Chains A and B, each alone.
Chain A
Amino acid sequence: MSSHGKRAPEAELGLLDATMIGMGAMIGAGIFVLTGLAAEIAGPAALLVFVLNGIVTAFTALSYAELASAIPKSGGGYAFVREVFADLPSFMMGWLLWFAYMVAGGLYALGFAPNFLELLHVYGLTAAPGEVGSVAIPALGVGVPVAVGLAFLAVLLLVSLNAASTAASGSVETIFTAIKVSILVVFVGYGVTSPQFSGAEFQPLFPGDKTAFSILPAMGLTFIAFEGYDLITTVTEEVKNPRENIPKAIFISLAVTLVVYIAVVSVAIGTLGWVDLARAGEAGIAEAATNFMPQFPVIGNGGAVIVFGAVFSTLTALNAVVIASSRVAFSMGREGQLLPSFGQLHHRFGTPFWAILASAVVMLSSVVLPTQSAGNMSSLFFLLSFVIVNGSVIKLRRERPDMARPYELPYYPVPPVLGIALNLLLTGVLVVYLLRTDVLALLLSGGWIGLGVVAYYGLTTLRTSAEEAETERAAAEDD
């Protein structure tokens, strides 16, 4: 009847575990899936794209660190903004963040599929992913592309797991992250020493029609690769000595992630060349590895290690965002900002069942999107929500100057103001870019925001009438 092991948050995660949670969310799916797509937009300057994104996101990281140290609530950005802003802005924050995570789920599932096919391909079980991806399955009698079908199945599997039992603990996450990082280290190690890399050509940085302005839309697309520290702040209650460890974990994970990204992207561009990397798209890193890794005994093709890493990373990242998205919906339900059932645990499974299920619906539908649209939309919503987070720091400092802030960000108000400006700049660039290339993503994004406004006022009306009925009943009882 009852489950065993730890279920409730308990302070048992150290600095290393917290750092690993952040790195686990950042390193992995983003770098595996988006490197190829970034190369397609920005060429060899994809390297700069990741570096600049790291810098932009560092300002928001400072804000997160201050808020996480001062507001002792797990739940990440939504919980912080809820504390600071009135109903509508905090609702929008939750609504944006919820969607960002759900679409990120779609993105990771879409990144999982071609890498999984590449894994099968490495062992000679299927044709190259590019050739399989467009083929329909006759067995199903419908024209479902294999990749979409695989992505759909992956989401379905992880959602069912999470709906039926509670999540894996932080220590499992540490092991997962260690595996991912070591696979990338192997990738970089072999890449740097490979003959292809010694002849690598990064010049010109902007070949053909690429210009310095190609960097901006690519930054927008890959911004999602840096959202991991929001996840650290969703487990704050479980971290030992959080007022010191949470800011540290945020900065360390961001710095390490940036170093790993720079190394991986350099190797990928250096060995495969940006043209081939761009062509390989979601499976770019895997293809680069297959290109230069030696043959191993038992494992066979050395690239298989990296491909396995990509499959593993996208799946674990997918699992993380299933949890993250349902936590946002759960918190919103608890706060009465979504239907109350979202904030309730299932009596049979002990999980936030309805929150997970609702997230699953959006995630499953986003799987039919092109990977790039999913990446763009998710990045767009993270950018917007980060604007609100930076705003919270400013608002909180003004309205509650006497609040205890164990960590105070330096040079206030420069970092949050810069964070807002840079995030808005990227949002603007991304929107302009989407107007030209991906109107569907833009329409869907606008649709979700519109739906949010409708949902907000719908729920408010519902609640007010419920409260009025309650008051009337109470008044009738008094008579």
Chain B
Amino acid sequence: MKHIALAAMLGLAAIAPAQAQTVVRHLHITSIPAEVELMNKIAADFMAQNPDIKVELPFLENEAFKAKLTTLLQSADAPDVFHSWGGGVFYEQAAAGVLRPIEDVLSDEAKANVGTAGVSAFTAPDGHLYGVARDVSEVVLWYNKTLFEQAGVDPASMETWDGFLAGVQAFKDAGITPIAIGAKDKWPAHFWWSKLVVRLAGQDGFAAAARGEGDGFAGEDFVKAGEYFLQLAALDPWQEGFLAAGYGDASGYFGDGNAAMHLMGDWDYGAMKDNSADKNGIPDEELGILPFPTIEGGKGDPTDTLGGLGGVLFSRNASDAAVKWIEFFNSTENQALYAKDAYYIPIAKGAADVMTNPFKVQIGQNISNAHWHALFFDQALGPNVGGVVNDVSAELAANAMSAEEAAEMIKEAVDDEL
């Protein structure tokens, strides 16, 4: 009996230092195995340097993450750090007091490392900084050079809207599906509406409509965006059965070389391969990026980009150790590892310099040269208005709703929120 007690005491003494560790739980949505491995490696490096901090990396799949986060953040089980996108939802979280302001904890160096755009994306309307930006993404028009040659379409001719429509018609005439789209998931359809709004209304027009000023989203530029979208839809440019196709289906359809174009984020470079039948997708030399067509008389700047700005937020209970971990995780040195393998385009200064993938390099340049980097509209406008934007976009793609009705529905949703 004595021995057991002694052994137990010794055992307790042995784990005592472990109990003194601060645990940092970082909830992420990374599902690509090699990328997860990289994240684990960075966490292991950090823990080796900081034996008093233990980093845990729980995972939730994207849709499950979105569905569970609201409850999770208000429970005792809230993670210290969690993945987030810039935009509407985060303001609600900040207003509800489930986040921790970190402007006093985060080093000036780390703030400088993400730049002004990175800081402002994670600053709530109350003026506090609640998170750290990690990556940027852009929606671009991917195209298949082989199919362009087959149909005799010159990519340069697609730079204006009229040229673009003519090109789409040329593909139709050649019996090639012009554009792949995953309209079942709706958000891929909303990229078309959003890009048209970026071109037609521009930054100021969009911001005014989002505030509900004047005619809001029922205004002229937004109705016009719907009309242009319908012009495209009238050509029936999408693959057969596009309303039953999710993003993955459309991505694979394009990756298999069945469609000439796909309007999608830079992440599709990898996803297109993963979703294709042979897992190789379109070889780099046959793949290209087109700028979204410009529209005459549009108020947007030609350099404007549409995309995302992702990062992490700190929950109410996050410790200083959590901030320390993120500073390490988001350092140029570690983010360069992600850049090297082209998982995403890091925002950390200089990290993207090591990118060798020509598409990612070009997208990185697009964003840094942009006059306005518009955040995905369905996220920038919050889940409710964003949901309506996605709905009407899918309707417009199917040529099943008038431009006026679409604009009116979005305006109503905004009014409902204000």
Instruction: Please determine whether chains A and B interact with each other in the same assembly.
Output: no
By a beta-carbon cutoff of 8 Å, the part of chain B in contact with chain A is: none
Residues of chain A whose beta carbon lies under 8 Å from any beta carbon of chain B: none
